[in-house]
Amino acid sequence: WYEFTSYAFVSNEIAANIFHGSGIATWGSFACSFVARPLGGMVFGFLADTYGRKPALVGSVYVMGCASVMQGLTPCIPYVGPTW
């Protein structure tokens, strides 16, 4: 629950820098994590049951690492400009 709480604390900064100040888009992306977590649990649970725990763990760490890198590479509005 740590990441959900920290997201709630910085939601104003996220809205200003990524979503053009839109609180709806900010909280909509927050809501996606509540949907993605159980779906990921089902997918990786199935993979763990089928192929074993090690491939499922390696795949989950790889996906989380790629997602973290993509979040770090997301540019802010001043760099992209208000084009979208």
The pLDDT confidence band at residue 10, using thresholds 50, 70 and 90, is confident
pLDDT tens by residue, 12-66 = 888 887 787 788 888 888 888 888 889 989 999 999 999 999 999 999 999 999 9
Spacing of C-alpha 16 from chain mean position? 18
Q: Whole-angstrom Cα distance, residue 73 to residue 64?
A: 14
Q: Whole-angstrom Cα distance, residue 5 to residue 3?
A: 5
pLDDT given at position 4:
76
pLDDT given at position 32:
87
pLDDT given at position 83:
61
pLDDT given at position 58:
94
